[in-house]
Amino acid sequence: MQEREIYLDNPPLGEALGKYFKELEEAGALKPTGAEVVDVREALGRITSEPVFARISSPHYNAAAMDGIAVSAKDTFGASEKNPVRLKEGVNFWPVDTGDPLPPGCDAVIMIEEVHPLEGGEVEIVSPCAPWDNVRSIGEDVAATELIVPENHRLRPQDLSAVIAAGHETVKVRKKPKVAVIPTGSELVDPGTPLKPGDIIESNSAMLAGLVEEWGGKAIVMEKVKDDFKLIMQRVQKAVELADVVLINAGSSAGTEDYTSNCIKALGKLSVHGVAIRPGKPVVLGLIEGKPVIGIPGYPVSAYLAMELFVKPVLYKMQGLPVPGREKIKARLSRRVVSSIGTLEFLRVKVGRLGGEYVASPLSRGAGVIMSVVRADGMVRIPETKEGIEAGEYVEVELLKSQEEIENSVLIIGSHDVSIDILANEIKRFYPEITLSSAHVGSMGGIMALMRGEAHLAGIHLLDPDTGEYNVSYIKKYLPNRRIFLVNLAYRQQGLMVKKGNPKGVKGIEDLMREDITFINRQKGAGTRILLDLKLKELGIDPVQIKGYGKEEYTHLAVAATVAGGGADVGLGIMAAAKAFDLDFIPVAPERYDIAIPEEFYHTDLMQKILEIMRSDEFKKKIESLGGYDTSMTGELIGGD
Amino acid sequence: MQEREIYLDNPPLGEALGKYFKELEEAGALKPTGAEVVDVREALGRITSEPVFARISSPHYNAAAMDGIAVSAKDTFGASEKNPVRLKEGVNFWPVDTGDPLPPGCDAVIMIEEVHPLEGGEVEIVSPCAPWDNVRSIGEDVAATELIVPENHRLRPQDLSAVIAAGHETVKVRKKPKVAVIPTGSELVDPGTPLKPGDIIESNSAMLAGLVEEWGGKAIVMEKVKDDFKLIMQRVQKAVELADVVLINAGSSAGTEDYTSNCIKALGKLSVHGVAIRPGKPVVLGLIEGKPVIGIPGYPVSAYLAMELFVKPVLYKMQGLPVPGREKIKARLSRRVVSSIGTLEFLRVKVGRLGGEYVASPLSRGAGVIMSVVRADGMVRIPETKEGIEAGEYVEVELLKSQEEIENSVLIIGSHDVSIDILANEIKRFYPEITLSSAHVGSMGGIMALMRGEAHLAGIHLLDPDTGEYNVSYIKKYLPNRRIFLVNLAYRQQGLMVKKGNPKGVKGIEDLMREDITFINRQKGAGTRILLDLKLKELGIDPVQIKGYGKEEYTHLAVAATVAGGGADVGLGIMAAAKAFDLDFIPVAPERYDIAIPEEFYHTDLMQKILEIMRSDEFKKKIESLGGYDTSMTGELIGGD
């Protein structure tokens, strides 16, 4: 088996950043990029490479600030109701509109409303004016030679206007730093390629290029390279010629960043290989020909973090800009998180405003789960010195969304149902400011989330084996002192999902005991799991008789995917999921899926808008079209406790 | 003289917005723009026009999550240090790298570190593994059919990556709303045209187009049109064909928005003409062929506000997005501001963090002063129901910059000097995160600003006529209980500025009395004014003998501009200003320009960085090159009190 370098004792983040940026500074790799001259009208968002001083004043002449007549103020002295003063057009007054230059000898403007026209081109005024009344004098807005915007300034729309008014047609701005992105990995295929096992769609470079563009750089995405040291060397050499910064995106295989580090060693200087962070540990930091060359890990979340921590400051420094910080808030962590001493962990969290404070709930911690970054509202740093964070501890969250968006986010935690996705989308369609943000942890997980105060809503379908009733008894048992409203989302059919054509001839739950059948289960606490266990009990089947009973998935779709992928023969789930994966579906039981809403949230504006959407015909129609749903009770109140 | 419509009783902002947006809704003018299909890799920042569901799962096969060997977990049961289990390659184990698909029959991966190689292709393990250990199962990141991003979602870099990983090559996004911008006004000339009095450079459309782009639209700037009703009508008709929204930018003359309102009346429906706001009052709101047509006032600050208040919500609604609010902070208003009952005023303010709170200082209120928007850190709304705001009242500021930028802003208030502009620029060059933000209100104004706690620093050059010493006695008198450090910025020559060639043969202060000479003065409290008054006293000249003594400007440059423009024959000011306007300069006296620094600010990191810049040779060289400066004491401490 292939040998790999072991990089024990990775330096902590601060040390790695300090060392690398010192070396970059010394090599002159961070000095601002050169300048280019652009038309001011095309300079929006560009960074000035030198200060802009006014060439001319604005106004560049003394201008009437009102419609009226221009006069010499001294001709009006002494005017009053009793002793009106007469002025003659072309002799001692001239009509002017706003913006007109003052005629020679004039130093004031009288508003048209204060002028009484007489016959023969004469007018009368009944009060004097002072010199410079109603005049915009030279330089009132911009005085020639004054500083309009300094160097290192990002040009905003109002700046463009001022720079033009100050007499400029062009402006000197920094060239955008060019960043080459090299995707590597023999497993990579282009988007759209038919996939075989082992293929991975090359999706990272879109994110890398997008981040580069957001940070003011110009991304050059190069052709992907196989895991071949010589080919990678050639591509890196070419990239160093083309660009100011080179990013080598490793394959997702654990050892492939060694190609990057060896390549940097061969062509330049390796500064750091491996940093004590998670995700993002296998980042590689180096220099070739005085240019930053950074090895970005292959797992997407690691890649995202490596970009944020190492590439962002490089790009901002090259543009002469401060590195913008993220907005931070204090939040209560809803669940305990364990982490390793010696590693700085970046935990993705959902954040909700609940009971007057922010509550952060941890998302999937896997480095391969890009959806955890898509879904995240923020990041929490768990320092190297801590073994984790206790539930209820207050943490600092670096927000990935604006605080305004967080305030308008409704967190629904519980069992997954496709109708929740549909609901989330309908809400965004009619109320773009509201986000219904879901986390899938099963029905009991949803009830626990309400108990811990980490969710606004819970999506549940919990069958009480004793009463045959859904949800009500669980709410009473686990949330005894709270008033909870239950609103029906839909009735849905639960059933066994099997491969198209039902090759193993599955007829019902009793077939799960068969030796030739592998099952894929849902996690403990999931409503579907409770239904299964009840059915097994009714049939007197011992779970140990079922192959695969111990292998759990967290959503209907993951179960269906497992069956479709051959990882199991049968799973229990909803018809919509079976349909999505083109599986056959053997009905087992209908079940009621409700949304549990604590009273204090039920009466909010936000919730009323969501209920309005749930009760709309359009929403019901979209749900029905999925198949296996009955919406006759959708949006109806089931009852409080 | 031409007649104009009088629009008394302008509706308040809320009423105007309500009426207009109701009419737009009814006309269907705000429905989201149509969709277009773009490559996901080019979709950064675009808005989804439909939800994106996953086409495939990621991973789409069960994948090794570690480098190691793939096994069937049941083959490892019972393994221990005492009873190691042997496995044979190709029979019951297969080497895998991270990302490899699991071979058929395998359901777990054992990390390479836990595998002991033997001879003959065999390995030994000493602990069992459980099914699915170290396996990334199908759909762990993305499950086919799940919602990746909803409709009305702005695509971020991480979203692009997730959408590609979910099996998409393209994505449906909203077309950018097209916005035609029509500059009107016979006085307008293109940037770069040699100017004659009355000409105004067409600078507004760059700002209008820039704002449209920032808000997600596509701006189409059309050729400018003279104030000719027929021509304007033709241009508007063409614009309505081309674009989704039409902006008609009035000339700066008071009556020209009537062309816009009459044009809208003729071609469509006029909704609102004039709103009780300042600046921005003469805005015109209408519809032509079901499209929003908005008359933007000609003065740049009015234009900026009309865009923000009326065009921004139109564009966001057309994209299906919520209108983003501005960050708000509470600040103490430093000075009293008087405003009119019945008008909602938008006051531009500088904001500084001073003495543990935010302090907002009003900037120029003129609608024609675009530099007030360039310089502003925020806006304060003075409601219709108030006659103004008292000094010391707390106000809500809508920020135009980030709070982080405000925290790193140093406010210097006082006398204007070109060297302050140079210093501001040098600071931005070396410390891009720091902004030296200046307001020009004269030396005494600077001292008052320190008294009121509205500035970090004051720039002063106040001559004590009794001692002949600069600044020290003023600090003692006006800030008796505070410890203030004085640091020299430079010694500079004050003198009389006259037209090139000195056509009136001015030799000194005594010439100001001459009948054929008009003077332009500085405002009361300005150090230059005190110097003048002292010199006049020494010479026994009564100010009433000086023509123009009563006309005041607020900066050296404005005085020089007035002389250069022929508004006066002589002004007193510094050599740098004379040089900038190519004026002759007759020295009167050297003076010391110091920066007054309260003790509590002197010791901050921010101030130490500024002092470091002031003491640098590069800064001194740049000042010297302006002419008329002596930097031998620059950056030196003059003394405390």
Which residues of chain B does A627 touch, with a Cβ-Cβ cutoff of 8 Å?
none
Residues B452 and B521 in one domain: yes
Whether A494 has its CB under 8 Å from any CB of chain B: the answer is no
User: Is A320 an 8 Å CB contact of chain B?
Assistant: yes
Q: Is A631 helix (H, G, I), strand (E, B) or coil?
A: coil
Give me Rg for the CA atoms of chain A.
34
- Using CA atoms, how far residue B154 sits from A109, A167, A211, B151, in Å, is 51, 37, 14, 9
**Where on the phi/psi map is residue B54: left (φ > 0), alpha (ψ -120 to 50), or beta?**
beta
Contact: A67, B424; criterion CB under 8 Å:
no
Q: How far apart are CA B483 and CA B120, in angstroms?
A: 86
Beta strands, E only, B145-256: 147-149, 170-174, 178-183, 188-189, 200-201, 218-221, 245-249
Residue contact B161–A204, C-beta within 8 A: yes
Set of chain B residues whose Cβ sits within 8 Å of the Cβ of A64: none
Nearest CB to A162; choose among B153, B162, B370: B370
Find the CATH number of the domain harbouring B356: 2.40.340.10
**Which DSSP string do the residues of A445-457 spell out, in sequence order?**
HHHHHHHHT--SE
Show which of residues 426-465 on chain A sit within 8 Å of chain B, judged by CB atoms: 428-429, 432-433
Number of domains in chain B: 5
Q: Are residues B275 and B253 in the same domain?
A: yes
pLDDT tens sequence across A353-398: 998 899 999 988 888 899 999 999 999 999 999 999 998 999 999 9
Burial B499-522 (b: 16+ CB within 10 A, else e): beebeeebeebebbbbeebbbbbb
Q: Which residues in chain B have their CB less than 8 angstroms from residue A281's CB?
A: none
Q: Residue B412 domain-assigned?
A: no
The tens digit of pLDDT for each residue in B443-469 reads: 898 999 999 888 999 999 999 878 878
| B251 Cα to chain A: minimum distance (Å) | 9
Q: Look at the block and give the residue holding tokens 């992928």.
A: A565
Q: For residue B41, what pLDDT is reported? A: 97
Checking if the pLDDT of B640 tops 70, the result is no
CA nearest to B158 within chain A? A207
**B567 touching A (Cβ < 8 Å):** yes
Whichever domain contains A97, its CATH number is 2.170.190.11
- Across chain A, how many H-helices and E-strands are there? 18, 38
Cβ contact, residue pair B158, A553, below 8 Å: no
Q: What is the CATH number of the domain that holds A618?
A: 3.40.190.290
Q: Residue-wise over A387-421: b if at least 16 C-beta within 10 A, else e?
A: eebeeeeebebbbbbebebbebbbbbbbbbbbbbb
Any residues with CB less than 8 A from the CB of A599 and at least 6 apart, and which? Answer: A482, A483, A484, A485, A640
- Judged by CB atoms closer than 8 Å, whether chains meet at B251 and A99 is answered as yes
In a domain, A592, yes or no: yes
Cα A186 from chain centroid (whole Å): 30
Q: What distance in Å separates residue B26's CA from the closest CA in chain A?
A: 16
Q: Are residues A586 and A605 in the same domain?
A: yes
Quick one: B504 and B607 in the same domain? yes
Residues of B in contact with A252 (CB under 8 A): 98-99
Which of A160, A197, A213 minimises the CB distance to B210?
A: A160
Q: What is the CATH number of the domain that holds B230?
A: 3.40.980.10
Measured distance CA(A439)–CA(A419) in Å, rounded: 14
pLDDT for res B189: 95
- Do residues B554 and B582 lie in contact, with contact meaning Cβ atoms separated by under 8 Å? no
Residue B587 contacts A, CB cutoff 8 Å: no
> Which residues have CB under 8 Å from B119's CB, separation 6+?
none
Answer whether B252 touches A (CB < 8 Å).
yes
Mutate to test the interface with A, among B2, B89, B97 (most CBs of A within 10 A): B97
Residue-level pLDDT at B1: 34
Asked if B565's CB is within 8 angstroms of A60's CB, the reply is: yes
What value does the CA radius of gyration of chain B take, rounded to a whole number of Å? 34
- Exposed (0-12), middle (13-18) or buried (19+): which is A618, by Cβ within 10 Å? exposed
Residue A303 domain-assigned (yes or no): yes
CB distance B604 to B352 below 8 Å: no
Task: Quote the ipTM score.
Answer: 0.90
Contact call for A97 and B254, based on CB within 8 A: yes
Do B304 and B345 lie in one domain? The reply is no
- CB within 8 Å: A208 and B157: yes
- In this prediction, residue A146 carries a pLDDT of 86
- B6 located within any domain: no
**Per-residue pLDDT tens digits for B523-567:** 887 889 989 999 999 999 999 999 999 888 877 878 998 898 788
Residue B113 near residue A254, CB atoms below 8 Å = no
Among candidate residues B222, B230, B216, the one with its CA nearest the CA of residue B181:
B222
pLDDT (tens digit per residue) in B50-81: 999 999 888 888 899 888 999 998 899 999 99
65-124 of B, contacting A, C-beta below 8 A: 65-67, 95, 97-101, 112, 117
As a whole number, the mean pLDDT across chain B is 92
A492 in Cβ contact with A593 (< 8 Å):
yes
Give CA angle at B258 (B253, B263), nearest 5°: 130
Please tell me whether residues B395 and B476 are part of one structural domain: no
Which residue has tokens 């003469």? B282
B97 neighbourhood in chain A, CB within 8 Å: 253-255
Chain A: closest CA distance from residue B129 (Å): 13
B259/B334 same-domain check: no
B491 plus B463 within the same structural domain: yes
Q: Answer whether A278 touches B (CB < 8 Å).
A: no
Under 8 Å CB pairs connecting chains A and B tally to 352
Name the β-bridge partners of B429.
none
Closest CA to A424 of B317, B148, B142: B148
Contact criterion met (CB < 8 Å) for A557 and B321: no
What's the CA gap between B361 and B399, in Å, rounded?
13
How close is the nearest chain A Cα to the Cα of B28, in Å?
A: 15
Tell me whether residue A424 is in a domain.
Answer: no
Residue A4 lies in a domain: no
**Do B450 and B547 lie in a common domain?**
yes
Say yes or no: B196 and B158 in one domain.
no
List, for residues B376-433, the tens digit of each pLDDT value.
999 999 999 999 999 899 999 999 999 889 999 999 999 888 899 999 999 999 999 9
Is B191 close to A101, i.e. CB distance below 8 A? no
Same-domain check for residues B511 and B619: yes
Instruction: Quote the CA–CA distance of B302 and A158 in Å, as a whole number.
Output: 12
For the cut 50, the answer to whether the pLDDT of residue B4 exceeds it is no
Give the closest-approach CA distance of B517 to chain A in angstroms: 14
pLDDT number for residue A140: 83
Specify whether A79 is located in the same domain as A100: yes
Distance from CA of B417 to the nearest CA of A (A): 10
Question: Among residues B303, B308, B304, B283, which one has the least CA distance to residue B293?
Answer: B283
A156 near B CB under 8 A: yes
Mean pLDDT of B6-34: 90
Q: Does A193 touch chain B (CB under 8 A)?
A: no
Preceding peptide of B543 cis, ω within 30°: no
Residue B123's region, left for phi above 0, alpha for psi from -120 to 50, else beta, is: beta
Angstrom CA distances, A640 to A452, B129, B459, B465, stand at 20, 47, 68, 84
pLDDT for B252? 63
Q: What count of Cα atoms within 13 Å lies in the side-chain half-sphere of residue B173?
A: 21
Tell me whether residues B408 and A207 touch, CB distance under 8 A.
no
Domain that holds residue A528: 442-639
B389/chain A closest Cα distance in angstroms? 25
**Domain of B147: which CATH number?**
3.90.105.10
User: In chain A, which residues have pLDDT < 50?
Assistant: 1-7, 640-641
Strands B637-639 and B484-498: antiparallel
- Shortest distance, CA B138 to any CA of chain A (angstroms): 6
Residue B299: is its pLDDT beyond 70? yes
Q: Are A438 and A412 in contact (CB under 8 A)?
A: yes
**If phi over 0 gives left and psi between -120 and 50 gives alpha, with beta otherwise, what is residue A58?**
beta
Nearest to B429 among A66, A152, A557 (CB): A152
Q: B562 to chain A: which residues are within 8 Å by CB?
A: 137-139
Q: Does B145 touch chain A (CB under 8 A)?
A: yes
Q: Is residue B425 part of a domain?
A: no
Rounded CA-CA distance B230/B228 in Å is 6
Which pLDDT score, from 0 to 100, does residue A151 have?
93
Confidence of residue B253 (pLDDT cuts 50, 70, 90): low
Q: Which residues of A touch B65 (CB under 8 A)?
A: 368
**What pLDDT, on a 0 to 100 scale, did the predictor assign at position B3?**
41
Residue B357 lies in a domain: yes
Cβ(B609)–Cβ(B458) under 8 Å? Answer: no
A45: left (phi over 0), alpha (psi -120 to 50) or beta: left
Residue after which a domain boundary falls, among B363, B387, B407: B407
Residue A153 forms contact with B (CB below 8 Å): yes
